[in-house]
Amino acid sequence: MKIVAVTSCPTGIAHTYMAAEALERAAKKAGHEIVVETQGAGGKKNIPADVIAAADVAIFAADLPVREKERFAKLPLIEAQVKSAIKDAAKIIAEAEALVSAKG
């Protein structure tokens, strides 16, 4: 499964990156590919459009509105709070798996 994800938090210096790391670890452990866009205070770097186009599912672990959200509009979407991605990223990855298999 190919996953794209966006993380963000109000301050943009801690939880955004912790959630990104947690999601990356959980996705790799479950045998998936993942690219995470950290919409934090640091340098902004969008996920390339072709990566989004090739993805099976999107995850927003974001406590702020996702910037340029329309880029992900065609993908099945899991939305979570940034903190739940840090605490239990495996569960969010499992939800993404279930969503993708339900859509067949």
Partner 1 sequence: MEAIFTEELIDLDVKGETKADVIAALAHLVDAAGRTSDVNALIADVLAREAIMPTGFEGVAIPHARSAACTAASVVVGRRKEGIDFGADDGDANLIFMIVAPADGDDAHLTILAALARRIIDEDFRAALLNATDAAEVLAVLTQGDAE
- Residues belonging to the active site: 9
CB of 24 or CB of 95, closer to partner 1: 24
By CB under 8 A, is residue 42 in contact with partner 1? yes
- State whether residue 12 is helix, strand or coil: coil
Angle between helices 89-103 and 15-29 (to 10 degrees): 60
Pairing relationship of beta strands 33-38 and 77-80 according to DSSP bridges: unpaired
CA distances to 16, 30, 84 from 63, in Å: 9, 25, 11
Residues 54-73 within binding reach of partner 1 (CB under 8 A):
63
Q: How far is the CB of 100 from partner 1 (least distance, A)?
A: 25
Q: How far is the CB of 101 from partner 1 (least distance, A)?
A: 27
List residues near partner 1 by CB under 8 A: 10-18, 20-22, 25, 38, 40-43, 63, 83, 86-87
